[in-house]
């Protein structure tokens, strides 16, 4: 069984996923890395996932992302971080649900907005109305995340280490991921 980390842009999916994978002694995969590899293999040159989206548009990017989901759905006993919109398109949520459990990271919108500003505004948000466009997108996505979630964690104000600890303890109690040898918590 895989653990698939979901949530809005800049909520910490990759950082939490990596920390949780270390605790579980499991492989970690980030969908952005897979999208970039598929693109590089086919285009013969590398672009970061944001540049792929900007250069080729939403439809092209979502198709690559769907192919990455198909590849990741074949993984076993791994922690997988997917993009904020991944589960909103094609049958990505269904494919991932068949191979694992969803962990939804519920973060404070203001904290995510700060991180988005620091790292650069993604193409799916309006830079002229960043807060408004983010709020509208979050209102569309949050109910979907909540519906999909097997595990939901309010991460407001928590460090990455604390989030990973809480998830690790929950998974241990529920005997989820028990076919892996967990690494002792510190």
With a cut of 50, say whether residue 184 has pLDDT above it.
no
With a cut of 70, say whether residue 178 has pLDDT above it.
no
Residue 9's nearest CA partner among 101, 90, 87, 96 is 87
Share of the chain above pLDDT 90, in %: 89
CA–CA distance from 35 to each of 32, 51, 163, 169 (Å)? 5, 11, 26, 31
Alpha helices by DSSP H, listed for 25-159, are 31-43, 49-56, 58-72, 92-99, 109-119, 130-148
Q: What is the pLDDT of residue 183?
A: 45
- Sign of the C-alpha dihedral computed for residues 87, 58, 32 and 155 taken in this order: negative
Provide the whole-model pTM.
0.92
pLDDT band at 175 (very low <50, low <70, confident <90, very high): confident
Q: What is the pLDDT of residue 174?
A: 82
Which residues does 10 contact at the CB level (< 8 Å), separation at least 6?
A: 107, 112, 113, 115, 116, 119
In DSSP notation, 145-172 reads HHHH-SEEEE-TT--HHHHHHHHHHHHH
Q: Give the residue carrying structure tokens 């949520």.
A: 93
In this structure, of 10-14, 111-115, 152-156, 176-180, the range with the lowest mean pLDDT score is: 176-180
Instruction: Please name each of the domains of the chain with its CATH number.
Output: 2-173 (3.40.50.300)
Task: Please state, in angstroms and rounded to a whole number, the distance separating the CA atoms of residues 107 and 123.
Answer: 21
Q: What is the pLDDT of residue 177?
A: 64
Report the mean per-residue pLDDT for the chain: 93
With a cut of 90, say whether residue 173 has pLDDT above it.
no
Task: Please state, in angstroms and rounded to a whole number, the distance separating the CA atoms of residues 66 and 177.
Answer: 25
Q: What is the pLDDT of residues 16-51, one digit of tens each?
A: 999 999 999 999 999 999 999 999 999 999 999 999
Q: What is the pLDDT of residues 88-105, one digit of tens each?
A: 999 999 999 999 999 999
Q: What is the pLDDT of residues 45-92, one digit of tens each?
A: 999 999 999 999 999 999 999 999 999 999 999 999 999 999 999 999
Question: What average pLDDT does this structure show over 130-134?
Answer: 96
């Amino acid at each position: 069984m895989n653990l698939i980390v979901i949530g809005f842009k800049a909520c910490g999916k990759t950082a939490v996923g990596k920390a949780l994978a270390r605790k579980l002694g499991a492989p970690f995969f980030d969908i952005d890395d897979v999208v970039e590899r598929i693109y590089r293999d086919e285009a013969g040159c590398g672009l970061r996932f944001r540049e792929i989206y900007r250069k080729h548009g939403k439809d092209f990017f979502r198709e690559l992302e769907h192919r990455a989901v198909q590849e990741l759905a074949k993984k076993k006993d791994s922690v997988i971080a997917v993009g904020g919109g991944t589960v909103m398109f094609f049958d990505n949520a269904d494919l991932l649900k068949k191979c694992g459990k969803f962990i939804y990271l519920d973060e404070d919108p203001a904290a995510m907005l700060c991180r988005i500003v620091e790292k650069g505004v993604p193409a799916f948000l309006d830079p002229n109305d960043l807060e408004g466009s983010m709020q509208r997108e979050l209102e569309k996505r949050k109910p979907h995340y909540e519906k999909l979630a097997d595990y939901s964690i309010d991460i407001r104000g928590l460090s990455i280490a604390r989030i990973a600890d809480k998830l690790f303890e929950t998974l241990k109690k529920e005997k989820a991921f028990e076919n892996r040898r967990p690494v002792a918590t510190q």
